[in-house]
Structure 1
Amino acid sequence: MYKGQLFNSEIIQVLSKMGHTDQIAIGDAGLPIASDTPRIDLAVTYGVPSFIQVFQTVSKDMQIEKVILAEEIIKRNCEMHKLILEQIKKLEQVQNSSIETIYVSHEKLKLQTRHCKAVIRTGECSPFANVILQSGVIF
């Protein structure tokens, strides 16, 4: 039996096929997902699972070199923004490398999800709880 933290086979499959600079998104329940972008729908009901639960779990099984956030999260969802930054700091320590964090408009973030290998939909119902993770290399 697979003994990693992540059990969702669709997410594991996407992560295992990702190469350097490939991207995957984790979004709240309202993030629009293009019909030609693979959707991994984890949403069960309001808040289940939460964005931060999914982000923490997925990020532990992925080498991340860059995180893309909507600039609107800074003022419109400051608590979530704080939790994301805390997780990034933890990952930097585990990975022993820095993670670039960039901010773009929410509109640009939504457009960028079209280039992601997949978008994971959570049950999160708070504004701008979306992130794009760019894959790094482990060597």
Structure 2
Amino acid sequence: MLKGISPLLSPELLKVLDEMGHGDEIVFADANFPTVSTGKRIVRADGIGAVELLDAVLQLFPLDQYDEDHFVLMEVVPGDPVQTPIWDEYKAVLNRYEPEAKVHTMERFAYYERAKEAYCVVATGETAQYANMILKKGVVR
């Protein structure tokens, strides 16, 4: 047992976060994301919401301070009437740990291609649509 580490972070996920170096990317995938066909390395976080997982991870994981494209969401497909209130929750968590961070979006298929290059894809239990995010790791100071 460790002090100060969220119980939402499995030993496998902690290992991945530690192994990642500056510039490596991790994807937090919602329940609809094609995780298995996209990820080179997959960690399961079944039943865990993406907001809660983001909050737990950002306590330990700095975003890349040299690349503004360090927090990326999948754009809503044009014409899709879905709402994305979860994005506001992400921004609130992000601002708590990384006040200077900017949120970027990326077209769906370009997002999938970028996700294929990620160090790891984490399959969350998040059921909100367009709840996927890519985080680029920065330098621990």
TM-score range, shorter chain: 0.7 to 0.9
| TM-score (norm. length: structure 2) | 0.82
SS of residue paired to 1:100: coil
Residue by residue over 1:101-139, the C-alpha shift from the partner in whole angstroms, topping out at 9 and shown as x without a partner, is: 211112221221111111111111121110000001123
CA RMSD of aligned residues (A): 1.9
Equivalent residues of 1:41, 1:121 under 8 A apart = yes
Q: Measure, in 2, the Cα distance between the counterparts of 1:35 and 1:104.
A: 16
Residue by residue over 1:6-44, the C-alpha shift from the partner in whole angstroms, topping out at 9 and shown as x without a partner, is: 44111111111111110011011111123661111122x
**1:84 and 2:104 matched:** no
What percentage of aligned pairs have identical amino acids?
Answer: 22
Residue by residue over 1:46-84, the C-alpha shift from the partner in whole angstroms, topping out at 9 and shown as x without a partner, is: xx22121112112221011310111219x7333101001
Q: Which amino acid aligns with 2:104?
A: I
**1:69 and 2:68 matched:** no
SS of residue paired to 1:5: coil
SS of residue paired to 1:126: coil
| TM-score (norm. length: structure 1) | 0.83
Higher helix fraction (1 or 2): 1
Q: Measure, in 1, the Cα distance between the counterparts of 2:101 and 2:4.
A: 22
When residues 131 and 78 of structure 1 are mapped into structure 2, their CA distance, relative to the original with a 3 A threshold, is same
Task: Give the CA deviation at 1:4.
Answer: 3.4
Q: State how many pairs are aligned.
A: 130
Q: Measure, in 1, the Cα distance between the counterparts of 2:13 and 2:63.
A: 15
Task: State the partner residue of 2:44.
Answer: 41
Task: State the partner residue of 1:3.
Answer: 3
